């Protein structure tokens, strides 16, 4: 187990290093450059050169990369001149808020998607299945900005019960103090996720209900409820674990469209604005954070898998 963890962490490190190299290269090969973006159109060539020299941007890229990594190891993700704050600070302001939104919507999605998927599987090819399938496909096919707009129109214009804007609070506590404002962004974000998850749960549950072990369970004279809940559900939820692991980076990156639509100052908005303004330190910082989250998410999914499925043995080597 420990050995497995060490192996996996080693792998994770390799992935993260590769991601930083690739992100670094791409960002530095882009035309334009940080100096012009930072100093503005009025800056002279001398000023640009001086800025580049100060920042080390005139050195070969691999030297810059080494410097970057050195700072990274000290927890320094750089400084954004455009925001006039350090990258760590910018991210740490927005990350918790994004996580609140993502966690709430994921939770909502899981709580609704699992029962929906189970109902579909149990009543497969009958009307409840068809109805839920149609709705899922509709939700899945609707662009999220359109869905968000419809939500705003419906619930804050036609029937004004909810605010159209997400909470604007600076801290998580302030955000949570305005639960009404969180409803629309959370629900919008959850709808698509519910569609995806319930399809997943349905198909794995259908597969599992056709398994021989379910027939064995029925042969014991168990009630259908017990067959589904005690025997099938656990095995049917394994793929959802993988799905959740893959979803972890989304918790960090935030839902770009939804954050913009509801004007929620989270990670998605940060990234989007940084991209428009060529704010390299922010872009790089966010990329690194997300890549770490991706790797950790996959690792967590594997560990969770091992915890619930006795057949999975975690070993770095056999012992």
Partner 1 sequence: MSESTVRHEPAAGEPAVVQPLLELRDLDTDIALRRGTVHALDGVSFEVMPGETLGIVGESGSGKTMTALSIMGLLPHGGRVTGGQILFEGRDLRSLPADEVRRIRGVRMGMVFQDPLTSLNPTMRIGVQVAEPLRVHQGVGRAEARERAIDILRRVGMPRPDRIVDNYPHELSGGMRQRVAIAMALVCSPRLLIADEPTTALDVTTQRQILELIDDLREEFGMAVILVTHDLGVIAGRADRVAVMYAGRVVETAATATLFRTPRHRYTEALMEALPESAIREGGENARLYSIPGLPPDLSRPLTGCRFAPRCRHVTDECRTTDVALSAGSHQYACLHPVPAASAAPVALPAPVRVEATPEPAQPTAAPDEPAGTPVLSVRSLVKNYAAHGRGVLRRGAGQVSAVADVSFDVGPGETFGLVGESGCGKSTVGRLAVGLERPTAGQILVDGTDLASLTGRERRRMHRQVQLMFQDSYAAMNPRMRVDAILAEPLEIQKVGDGAARRARVASLLDQVGLSRRVLERYPHEFSGGQLQRIGLARSLALQPRLIVGDEPVSALDVSIQAQVLNLMRDLQRELGLAYVFISHDLSVVDYMADRIGVMYLGKLVEVGPARDVVRAARHPYTQALIDAVPSVTPSAATARDGVTIRGELPSALNPPTGCRFRTRCPLAQEICETEPPLAGDRHQVACHFPLRPESSGTPVEAGTAA
Number of residues that bind partner 1 (CB under 8 A): 34
Q: Which residue's CB is nearer to partner 1, number 7 or number 242?
A: 7
CB of 296 to partner 1, least distance (A): 17
Question: For residue 222, how many C-alpha atoms fall within 13 Å in the half-sphere facing its CB?
Answer: 17
Of positions 16, 21, 27, 222, contacts partner 1 by CB under 8 A:
222
User: Does 231 sit near partner 1 (CB under 8 A)?
Assistant: yes
DSSP state letters, the chain: -HHHHHHHHHHHHHHHHHHHHHHHHHHHHSSS-HHHHHH-TT--HHHHHHHHHHHTTTS-HHHHHHHHHHHHHTT---EETTTTEEHHHHHHHHHHHHHHHHHHHHHHHHHHHHHHHHHHHHTTTSHHHHHHHHHHHHHHHS-HHHHHHHHHIIIIIIS--S-SS----SSHHHHHT-HHHHHHHHHHHHHHHHHHHHHHHHHHHHHHHTSHHHHHHHHTT--HHHIIIIIIHHHHTHHHHHHHHHHHHHHHH--HHHHHHTT--SHHHHHHHHHHTT-HHHHHHHHHHHHHHHHHHHHHHHHHHHHH-TT----SS--
Q: Which residue's CB is nearer to partner 1, number 96 or number 239?
A: 239
Q: Which residue's CB is nearer to partner 1, number 47 or number 210?
A: 210
Q: Which residue's CB is nearer to partner 1, number 114 or number 290?
A: 114
User: Does 127 sit near partner 1 (CB under 8 A)?
Assistant: no
Which among 1-9, 71-79, 88-96, 147-155 is the span making contact with partner 1, rule CB under 8 A?
A: 1-9
Which among 129-137, 227-235, 264-272, 275-283 is the span making contact with partner 1, rule CB under 8 A?
A: 227-235
User: Does 18 sit near partner 1 (CB under 8 A)?
Assistant: no
User: Does 36 sit near partner 1 (CB under 8 A)?
Assistant: no
Q: 295, 282, 301: which is closest to 93 by C-alpha?
A: 282
Q: What distance in Å separates the CA atoms of residue 184 and residue 284, rounded to the nearest whole number?
A: 30
CB of 200 to partner 1, least distance (A): 18
User: Does 213 sit near partner 1 (CB under 8 A)?
Assistant: yes
User: Does 225 sit near partner 1 (CB under 8 A)?
Assistant: no
x/- mask, partner 1, residues 76-115, rule CB under 8 A, reads ----------------------------------------
User: Does 218 sit near partner 1 (CB under 8 A)?
Assistant: yes
CB of 241 to partner 1, least distance (A): 13
User: Does 317 sit near partner 1 (CB under 8 A)?
Assistant: yes
User: Does 11 sit near partner 1 (CB under 8 A)?
Assistant: yes
Binding positions for partner 1, rule: CB under 8 A = 3-4, 7-8, 10-11, 124, 210-213, 215-223, 226, 231, 234-235, 308-311, 313, 315-319
């Amino acid at each position: 187990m420990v050995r497995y963890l060490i192996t996996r962490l080693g792998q994770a490190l390799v992935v993260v290093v590769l991601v930083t190299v690739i992100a670094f290269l791409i960002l530095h090969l882009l035309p334009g450059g940080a100096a012009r973006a930072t100093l503005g159109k009025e800056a002279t060539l001398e000023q640009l050169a001086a800025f580049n020299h100060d920042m080390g941007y005139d050195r070969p890229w691999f030297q810059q990369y080494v410097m970057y990594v050195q700072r990274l190891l000290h927890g320094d993700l750089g400084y954004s001149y455009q925001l006039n704050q350090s990258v760590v600070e910018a991210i740490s302001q927005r990350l918790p808020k994004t996580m609140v939104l993502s966690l709430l919507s994921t939770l909502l999605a899981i709580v609704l998607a699992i029962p929906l998927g189970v109902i579909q599987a149990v009543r497969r090819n009958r009307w409840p299945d068809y109805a839920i399938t149609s709705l899922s496909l509709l939700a899945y096919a609707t662009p999220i900005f359109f869905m968000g707009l419809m939500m705003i129109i419906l619930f804050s214009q036609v029937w004004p019960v909810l605010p159209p804007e997400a909470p604007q609070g600076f801290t998580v506590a302030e955000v949570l103090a305005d639960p009404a404002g969180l409803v629309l962004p959370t629900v919008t974000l959850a709808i698509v996720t519910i569609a995806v998850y319930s399809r997943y749960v349905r198909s794995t549950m259908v597969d599992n209900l056709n398994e021989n072990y379910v027939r064995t369970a029925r042969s014991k004279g168990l009630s259908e409820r017990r067959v589904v809940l005690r025997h099938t559900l656990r095995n049917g939820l394994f793929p959802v674990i993988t799905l959740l692991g893959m979803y972890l980076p989304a918790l960090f990156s935030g839902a770009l469209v939804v954050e913009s639509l509801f004007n929620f100052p989270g990670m998605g908005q940060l990234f989007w604005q940084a991209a428009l303004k060529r704010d390299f330190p922010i872009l790089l910082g966010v990329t690194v954070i997300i890549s770490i989250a991706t790797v950790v998410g996959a690792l967590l999914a594997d560990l969770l898998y091992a915890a619930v499925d006795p057949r999975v043995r975690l070993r770095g080597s056999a012992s």
